[in-house]
Amino acid sequence: MTATRHKEATAPVRSSGALSIWVGRHFSMAGQSLGRLLKQPFASLMIILVIAVTLALPAALNLIVKNAAAVSGSWENALDFSVFLDRALSASEAESLARLIEKRADVANVQFITAEQALEEFKVQSGFGNAMDQLSQNPLPHTLVVRPSAANTSETVILLREELANLPETDFVQVDTEWVQRFHAILDIVREAILIGSILLGTAIIVIIGNTIRLDIQNRREEIEVTKLIGASNAFVRRPFLWTGFWYGLLGGLLAIALVQYGVYLLQAPIARLAGLYQSGVDVLTFELREIGIIIGIGVFLGLTGSWSAAARHMRRIEPR
Amino acid sequence: MIHLENVTKRFPGGQEALSGLDLSVDKGEMVFVTGHSGAGKSTLLRLIALIERPSSGQVVVDGQNTSRVRRRKIPDYRRQIGMVFQDHKLLYDRSVAENVALPLIIAGASHRDAGRRVRAALEQVSLLHKEKQNPETLSAGEQQRVGIARAIASRPKLLIADEPTGNLDPDLSLEVMRVFRRFNEFGVTLLIASHDIALIDRLGCRRIELQNGRLRQGVESE
């Protein structure tokens, strides 16, 4: 009996390079690494929370910018010019000028508002109706509201505006919606700032995970030494630590999304109230599936990078003594 | 199986652990290395396990010149050798069976294959009934036997042991040596560092003695 047993014990290991075994080992190692994290739930949670908050910050800012851009996008086609004409111009002259401008390729349409119409409108809207009646003559000029055609770029719009302003009949041109452009420029800057901030925060995550893994490696120094004595390669001893980094990143990413979504949920009611004041319904945009994938992907990438950098540096130094 | 030619190991401090050592162990032999502590027994084993490299001279193990084994190939090299340590070097965060399975997992054995080998190896050291326990709950002698089971689980042709009975009482020591003896009968080459001369004489194996890093002449016994 012992003899047959021994034969079994002493047949050489079939180095079954089968992929399924390799995959199976990887999975069981992934499970062991996760189990290790769960064994110290508090310590693990702290690190995951740090990662989650660090990821959630730029993700939330991105979401705010996305919503702001969506809201302001609906104002973009309100980019009209008000061309105030010279007071000396008669209504018919103004009318023919309007038809002339309307023929331009870079103009979609021109709305002609006579001085009388403008005054009527002003009386109604301003509440100064009676006071205006006292005026002996209309102080307002004829006005053309020019809407540039959709084919315009921001440069050609500026060009159009210059040309309109240089017409001899023009008193001055006002772009009521200039601030929309400014707002978009500001959003661009904010986006850029978020990107820069994200890179810094991402670096911080790599450092945090790297440091955590480094401590983990130190705590398991003896185990690493023993496994190396038995013939484990650097890749083999590194693997569980890479899995740990992977789990930190994945769980941190998931928690980050949960935090932001919860924040959106909390803000929904106040935003609805605000939108109600502006008599507009607002749909708060949340993460799309693609964005969720990106956040988790970034978390995993940072986790693996952090653990890899720590493992690569410290694993080689641990050699059996 | 093991061939040392004019091997010298000098440590950074300048003292020589081994000085021009020549030694040869044939396939299937069971050889004991004795000598005072500091005589170079451990250094000899460490050179064979490639934990250290000689300052000069050649160490050839199973036809491989260790000086030609590159750093990256050391893991592959070590997998061919079973190692038993005085302090067992077991991992206490896992069961006895998982400890014994470690070299098999490193070698990439399948789950079923590994399980069978672990049980076979544990049966060899009569510890199959304790496979699920944590090694910490085992006695010193049992722990050492788990260490031996781990060393033989992947069926190495060569087994080296550094003071395997150093912490054991005479009865347990004899038990461990009998286990070694049995492996030897199945063709495993063994090189065992020990200072327990009385025990070695009882087993009647070849014995070489180191003194100040050299073979002490005239004590080679068969």
Which chain A residue lies closest to B183 (C-alpha atoms)? A6
When CB atoms are compared, the residue of A230, A319, A321 closest to B106 is: A230
- Confidence class for position A9, pLDDT limits 50, 70, 90: very low
Using a CB-CB cut-off of 8 Å, the residues of chain A touching B121 are 9
- CB contact under 8 Å between A11 and B107, yes or no, is no
Using a CB-CB cut-off of 8 Å, the residues of chain B touching A32 are none
The stretch A25-29 carries a mean pLDDT of 81
Read off the pLDDT of residues A165-185 as tens digits, 9 standing for 90 and up. 888 888 888 876 667 778 888
- Rounded Cα distance between B207 and B178, Å, is 16
The stretch B104-127 carries a mean pLDDT of 88
The stretch A193-212 carries a mean pLDDT of 93
Q: Measuring CA to CA, how many Å separate B92 from each of A183, A213, A223, B82, B97?
A: 63, 21, 9, 20, 12
pLDDT at A4 over 70: no
- CB contact under 8 Å between B109 and A16, yes or no, is yes
pLDDT at A303 over 90: yes
pLDDT of residue A76: 54
Using a CB-CB cut-off of 8 Å, the residues of chain B touching A18 are 110
The stretch A20-30 carries a mean pLDDT of 79
DSSP A276-307: HHTT---------HHHHHHHHHHHHHHHHHHH
pLDDT of residue B198: 83
- The backbone torsions φ and ψ at residue A175, rounded to the nearest 5 degrees and listed phi first, read -105, 105
Distance from the Cα of B72 to chain A's closest Cα (Å) equals: 8
Which chain B residue lies closest to A318 (C-alpha atoms)? B51
Query: What's this model's pTM, rounded to 2 decimal places?
Result: 0.74
Evaluate whether A80 touches A147 at the Cβ level (below 8 Å): yes
The first and second tokens of residue A220, run together, are 């398991």
Which chain A residue lies closest to B120 (C-alpha atoms)? A9
pLDDT at A319 over 80: no
- Rounded Cα distance between B18 and B39, Å, is 8
Read off the pLDDT of residues A30-55 as tens digits, 9 standing for 90 and up. 888 888 888 888 989 999 999 999 99
Read off the pLDDT of residues A123-154 as tens digits, 9 standing for 90 and up. 777 777 777 777 777 888 888 888 887 777 76
- Model-level ipTM above the cut of 0.85: yes
The stretch A94-100 carries a mean pLDDT of 88
pLDDT at A58 over 90: yes
Substitution target in B105, B150, B152, B184 with the highest count of A β-carbons within 10 Å is: B105
- CB contact under 8 Å between A24 and B111, yes or no, is yes
B104 touches chain A (CB under 8 A): yes
Read off the pLDDT of residues B124-179 as tens digits, 9 standing for 90 and up. 888 899 888 899 999 888 898 999 999 999 889 999 999 888 878 888 888 888 88
- Confidence class for position A279, pLDDT limits 50, 70, 90: low
- Confidence class for position A1, pLDDT limits 50, 70, 90: very low
pLDDT at A8 over 50: no
- CB contact under 8 Å between B109 and A13, yes or no, is yes
Distance from the Cα of A230 to chain B's closest Cα (Å) equals: 6
B197 touches chain A (CB under 8 A): no
DSSP H helices, B79-205, are 96-107, 111-124, 140-153, 170-185, 197-203
Q: How many CB pairs under 8 A join A and B?
A: 96
Mean pLDDT of chain B: 87
- Rounded Cα distance between A121 and A186, Å, is 34
pLDDT of residue B137: 92
Which chain A residue lies closest to B106 (C-alpha atoms)? A232
- Rounded Cα distance between A257 and A51, Å, is 11
The residue ranges of DSSP E strands in chain B, in sequence order, are 2-10, 16-25, 30-34, 56-61, 64-65, 81-84, 158-162, 189-193, 206-211, 214-215
pLDDT at A57 over 50: yes
C-beta atoms surrounding B17 within 10 Å: 24
- Confidence class for position A189, pLDDT limits 50, 70, 90: very high
- CB contact under 8 Å between B186 and A14, yes or no, is no
Using a CB-CB cut-off of 8 Å, the residues of chain A touching B106 are 227, 230-233, 236
The first and second tokens of residue B98, run together, are 């998982």
pLDDT of residue A114: 87
